[in-house]
Chains A and B, each alone.
Chain A
Amino acid sequence: MKSREYQQIDPQALPTPVRTPPHDHPQAGGGDGRKEPRRTPRRKWEVFPGKNRFFCDGRIMMARQSGVFPLTLGLILVTSGLFFIFDCPFLVKHLTGCIPAIGGVLFVFVLVTLLQTSFTDPGILPRATPEEAVDVERQIDDTGNTSYRPPPRTKEVLINQQVIKLKYCFTCKMFRPPRTSHCSLCDNCVERFDHHCPWVGNCVGKRNYRFFYTFIVSLSFLTAFIFGCVTTHLALRAQGGKGLVFALKESPGSAVELAICFFSVWSILGLSGFHTYLVASNLTTNEDIKGSWSGKSGEGVTNPYSHKNIFINCCSVLCAPMPPSLIDRRGLVPAEESAQTSGMDTERPKLNNKSEMNVVGGSLHLVFDVQESCSDFSLLLNQTKTVPLPARSLVACYSPNTVSVCFPVSECCVKVTPLCAVFQLLSKVCIDHAFYWVWLVVFYGVHQAQLLVCLHQAYIMEGNCLSFNKSTEITVFHCSFV
């Protein structure tokens, strides 16, 4: 493999991939196969790239995997229902009428905060626009880095005299703000990411942490309250030598409640206690688990976000002004960006020999000319094929007659050689000729658009395997992100 000098591909010289190309016949529109170019504008939640589900026309959102949220809801409803049906009448008669009132208030609190935790946007950061991504890339490259080594993907900032490393998120194409983390289940960067809670079926982040905290605190009160009431109820019934078994037979629902409450009260109380500690020290579960500020990594590492006062910490977490949702779910998608954000469009026959690349959200459409090469390399077929590419691929069209397929190889592929990376790509491309000249511009490396691997030579495709003939050469050089 020969390695060559690097050249920057100037992004200005490349046609912008996000623009809808001029066409002489109407193209298919968004992912649902509508044909007219003009149609009712769509709301942004319909083209949201993360793994979320939206209800009520974008007003309510959850993670795509609802986890055990139905179980949580079911347990709470069942236990509370049994409490009101079986225990309250007895306790009202023998003790006081406050009991169902308190129980009712707690139940309403728990339910409302649970629904708010599950249905609120946790603080999702919208993904960077392509122009922003180019700009970030340019700022990194301004250091004059033309060496083979990929530029660093962390940025250091000084917060309250602490050095914090900001990581670059490949999916969202931006440097994550401090305390932001990318949730792999929801495929979103979430601000002040605490954890992804399967019990509520959503991430817990900046915007819904207070709901979550109120939920677990009120749930622990409710569970403890029901547990206490049921015990009192059974104790009162078993009075006078009648025995516990008799009491349970008279009120079978109480047995169920007792079991549920007994097993859950400890973990819920524990969780409440843990989160109270987190709130008081202005930490997130994520940071606590990783031990970011515990001083393991060195001396003098303290939490730079803490206000050093328990009361102020609690206020800033629970009583701070409610931040707005940044993803604007119910906004309308602007018409000229609909090509950029619309979903997959898998069978759109391409127009002519000019290769027009559309970056359509997370997956893309690529049309390219493959030139079949025979032994004398003289035959030029100019066939066009439309192939869907793996998600997160980007295309820079270097020239109309070349295939330019650029995709960020995921981190796990970094250790793989360039050839293998190409294999992975090409094996998804259904080309069924024997010999090809394919110009592939493959982005490969830890940073998007760090290296270009260009295949000049023909290769043989047998089934899903690729092998290169002896004269394969690979050119590696640096390129700017487009």
Chain B
Amino acid sequence: MSDPLFPDGTCTQQHAVKNRYQTEIFNMAETHSLQDMRQQAAVAAKVFVQRDYTSGTMCQFQTKFPSELETKIDKQQFEETIRTLNNLYAEAEKLGSQSFIEGCLACLTAYTVFLCMETHYEKVLKKIAKYIQEQNDKIYAPRGLLLTDPIERGLRVIEITIYEDRSFTR
């Protein structure tokens, strides 16, 4: 295999030096990365479910089933989770009569109510956090997966951590 840093295989004097270091470097690189892998043995991979912008700036996530999870979880189950999350986020951002009244009231008080009251969005976020916790406990943790609440990633992605199956390394 040709090393990207040493793609030229010819043996000029300069390259002889390179080659001398090459073996040493490669050996150290290998041990280095093996050490790293052993230390990271728990987390095998992370999958990211990106946002779906087809309905505008509303917070929705793509329901496409990532290929890395094919062996781990049922496609229906996964899509169900994402769809419920999408519905919850839609509920948080919904422009209903209740939010309209809240908005008008807030405007009349120069928005000082936001300092005292928990907003509608925050209430739904708590619901979402509870739902994710529940899903993790019931469905994802037994399969060696972990859903991270998107709010911890700035509502950019749903991060799914795949843990290595420890039973094989024993």
B-binding residues in A (CB < 8 A):
4-5, 7, 9, 12-16, 19, 22, 108-109, 112-113, 116, 125-126, 128-129, 131-132, 135-136, 157-160, 164, 166, 174, 177-179, 191-192, 210-211, 214, 304-305, 312, 315-316, 318-324, 326-328, 354, 373, 376-378, 397-402, 437, 439, 441, 452, 454, 456-457, 471, 473, 475, 477, 479
Contacts and interface: CB of A to CB of B under 8 A. Distances in A.
A439 B32 CA distance: 18
B141 interface: no
Contact of A14 (B28, B33, B56): B33
Closest 5 A/B residue pairs (Cβ): A319-B103, A399-B29, A126-B154, A399-B25, A112-B110
A452 B157 CA distance: 29
B79 interface: no
A178 B26 CA distance: 45
Interface stretch (B69-77, B116-124, B131-139): B116-124
22 contacts: A7-B7, A19-B39, A108-B110, A135-B46, A159-B54, A164-B53, A177-B156, A211-B111, A304-B56, A319-B100, A319-B107, A323-B93, A326-B155, A376-B13, A378-B17, A399-B26, A399-B29, A400-B29, A441-B5, A456-B8, A475-B5, A479-B4
B44 to A, nearest CB: 11
Nearest to A319: B103
Given A177-B57, A214-B111, A315-B103, A15 B46 contact: no
B33 to A, nearest CB: 5
A178 B32 contact: no
A255 B53 CA distance: 54
Nearest to B120: A321
Contacts of B56: 159-160, 178, 304-305
B48 A132 contact: yes
A178 B56 CA distance: 8
Contacts of A326: 151, 154-155
Contacts of A378: 17
Chain A's interface: helix, strand, loop or mixed, by majority?
Answer: loop
Contacts of B14: 377, 456-457, 471
Interface of B: 2, 4-8, 13-14, 17-18, 21, 24-26, 28-29, 32-33, 35-36, 39-40, 46-48, 51, 53-57, 92-95, 99-100, 102-104, 106-107, 110-112, 114, 119-122, 125, 151-157, 159
B110 A113 contact: yes
B103 A157 contact: no
Given A159-B54, A159-B56, A398-B5, A320 B93 contact: yes
B70 to A, nearest CB: 16
B124 to A, nearest CB: 8
A437 B18 CA distance: 10
A293 to B, nearest CB: 13
Contacts of A319: 95, 99-100, 102-104, 107
Contact of B111 (A5, A19, A116, A328): A116
A293 B152 CA distance: 33
Contacts of B125: 324
- Residue with the greatest number of chain B CB neighbours at <10 A, chosen from A160, A166, A377, A473: A377
A324 B151 contact: yes
A62 B104 CA distance: 26
Nearest to A158: B54
B32 A210 contact: no
A157 B53 contact: yes
A35 B56 CA distance: 48
A177 B52 CA distance: 10
Given A177-B156, A319-B95, A475-B7, 17 more contacts: A7-B2, A112-B112, A113-B111, A158-B54, A159-B56, A315-B103, A319-B100, A319-B102, A322-B106, A323-B121, A324-B119, A326-B151, A328-B152, A354-B32, A398-B5, A400-B25, A437-B17
Given A13-B33, A319-B103, A477-B4, A327 B154 contact: yes
A9 B4 contact: yes
Given A398-B29, A439-B5, A456-B18, A322 B53 contact: no
B153 A129 contact: yes
Contacts of A191: 57
Nearest to A353: B28
- Residue with the greatest number of chain A CB neighbours at <10 A, chosen from B2, B4, B26, B102: B4
Nearest to A475: B7
Contact of B17 (A322, A377, A397): A377
Contacts of A320: 93, 95, 99, 103
